[in-house]
Amino acid sequence: MRKNTFQQLAKSTFLLSALTLATQASATEVTFDTSEGTIVINLFDNDTPKTVTNFLSYVNNGSYNNSVIHRSIPGFIIQGGGYAFEGAFPLVKLPTMPSVVNEPVYSNRRGTISMAKIGGQPNSATNQWFFNLADNSANLDVNESGYTVFGQVTEGMDVIDKVAGFETCSDIPTIDFECADTSTPSVETFVTIYSATISDTSIDSAAQLNPVKNISTDDSDNDKDSGGSLSIMSLLTLGLLSIGRGKLKK
């Protein structure tokens, strides 16, 4: 009996250790296969768990497949996750699940992916996200209770920069498209995310990234000038743009 008890204890200890190790090594990677190339994102599972779980729920249900990048602000952000093109304007708003609590742990520096949300509602993020094209920490770390960075680009920043360089029509990046009332777009007009898939769950690649902490955690940074930030914040809300004759609203 004592031997069996020891074996059970040893087994339980082993399983607990394995579970702890697996938790520590958790660093999910997601790959976006887009019309302009591949983008790989390493998610911060351990530090922004609710946001990562929320994001992966959309990945797993295929919500991001065949969606489009619907906003590009050069030198600032490109944004996606919320709309699809289905042959005509306006773009189709994708269904959302309940919003997720804000987790502003890391700084909105170039190459990070962060959640978009409704202005004045810190815990309103659902399916929309954006890539930071520059160091946006002075605005996005501080305002709106901070925007949650939940991952970092490990491959494909050149693709993101390419998209950011496209001409825009009412902020939508477009390809070989004349932005006029009489223009008729096609699927080739837009930057399309063909698929979003979990590409790796087995390695702790996040440990190699060394993301910067949100500057709001440093009192010395809270006095930084964020002039014009309130108008910039409106660009990251879920009330979106217009293109041609079609207008996208909340």
Q: How far is residue 217's CA from residue 104's CA, in Å, rounded to a whole number?
A: 9
Which DSSP symbol is given to 240? -
Query: Tens digit of pLDDT for each residue in 81-132?
Result: 999 999 988 899 999 999 999 999 999 999 999 999 999 999 999 999 999 9
pLDDT of amino acid 162: 98
Residue with tokens 């204890």: 9
pLDDT at 210: 78
Check residue 120 and give its pLDDT: 94
Q: Mean of the pLDDT values across residues 5-28?
A: 41
Please check the confidence at residue 148 and state whether its pLDDT lies above 60.
yes
For residue 236, the one-letter residue type is L
- What's the confidence (pLDDT) of residue 28? 87
Q: What CA–CA distances, in Å, run from 59 to 46, 55, 78, 194, 196?
A: 18, 6, 19, 12, 6
Across the chain, how many H-helices and E-strands are there? 5, 15
Say whether pLDDT at 248 is over 70.
no
**Structure tokens, 17:** 């250790």
- Compare 3 and 137 and report the one with higher pLDDT: 137
192-241 pLDDT, tens digit per residue, is 999 999 988 755 656 677 789 999 875 444 444 333 343 344 445 544 44
Reduced to 3 states (helix: H, G, I; strand: E, B; else coil), residue 147 is: coil
Residue 99, both tokens: 């919003």
Which of 111, 114, 205 is CA-nearest to residue 159? 111
Looking at residue 20, its amino acid is T
Q: Mind listing the pLDDT tens digit for each residue in 24-83?
A: 334 589 999 999 999 999 999 989 999 999 999 999 999 999 999 999 999 999 999 999
Q: How many residues are given for the chain? A: 250
pLDDT at 230: 36
Q: What is the pLDDT of residue 1?
A: 44
* pLDDT tens readout for residues 152-178: 999 999 999 999 999 999 899 999 998
